[in-house]
Amino acid sequence: MKCQNCSQENKLNAKACKKCGRDLAVPPSWFPDWRWHARTLGIIYACLVVFYFVTTFALRQLPKPYHIRDIPEDLTPWLKR
Ligand SMILES: [Zn+2]
Cα gap 1→24, rounded to integer Å: 9
Which residues have CB less than 5 Å away from ligand 1 (the ion)? 3, 5-6, 8, 17, 19-20, 22
Residue-level pLDDT at 12? 86
23 C-alpha to ligand 1 centroid (Å)? 9
- pLDDT single digits (tens) 62-79: 887 777 777 788 888 888
24 C-alpha to ligand 1 centroid (Å)? 9
Domain boundaries in the chain?
Answer: 34-68
- pLDDT single digits (tens) 16-62: 888 888 888 866 677 889 999 999 999 999 999 999 999 989 888 88
Tell me the pLDDT band of 2, cut-offs 50, 70 and 90.
confident
Global pTM reads 0.46
9-33 exposure pattern, b = at least 16 Cβ within 10 A, e = fewer = ebeeeeeebeeeeeebeeeeeeeee
